[in-house]
Copies of this chain bind each other. A is one copy, B any other.
Amino acid sequence: MAVTIRDVAEASGVHVSTVSRAFSAPHLVNPETRTRVLAIAEDLGYRPNRAARALTTGRTHNIGLIVADIANPFFPPLIKAAQAQARLRDYHVFVADTDEDPQVEEDLIQTLTKQVDGVLLCSPRLTNRTIERLREEVPFVVVNRRAKGMPTVLMDVGRGARQAVEHLTALGHRRIALVTGPSGSWTSKEMQEAAAAMNDVDVVFLGPNPPTELGGLAAATDVIASGATGVLAYNDLVAIGLIEGLAERGKNVPGDVSVIGVDDIVPGRLSRPKLTTIAMPTAAAGRIAVDLLLQSVDSAATAAATMLETALIVRESTGKAHR
Contact = CB atoms under 8 A, between A and B. Distances in A.
A79 interface: yes
A267 interface: yes
B213 A114 contact: no
Contacts of A50: 114-115
A48 B113 CA distance: 10
A113 B48 CA distance: 10
Given A54-B51, A96-B92, A267-B267, A2 B84 contact: no
Interface of A: 2, 47-52, 54-55, 60, 62, 69-71, 73, 75-77, 79-80, 83-84, 87, 92-97, 99, 108, 110-115, 137, 213, 237, 240, 266-267, 270-272
A94 B115 CA distance: 12
Contact of A113 (B47, B52, B94, B111): B47
Contact of A47 (B93, B95, B111, B270): B111
Contacts of A51: 51-52, 54-55, 60, 114-115
Contacts of A69: 80
Contacts of A76: 70-71, 73, 75-76
Contacts of A270: 213, 237, 240, 267, 270-271
Given A115-B92, A213-B270, A110 B70 contact: no
Given A113-B47, A271-B267, A71 B60 contact: no
A62 B111 CA distance: 12
A96 B87 CA distance: 9
A168 B267 CA distance: 26
Nearest to A96: B83
Contacts of A112: 92
B60 A70 contact: no
A54 B50 CA distance: 10
B70 A2 contact: no
Contact of A97 (B80, B108, B115): B80
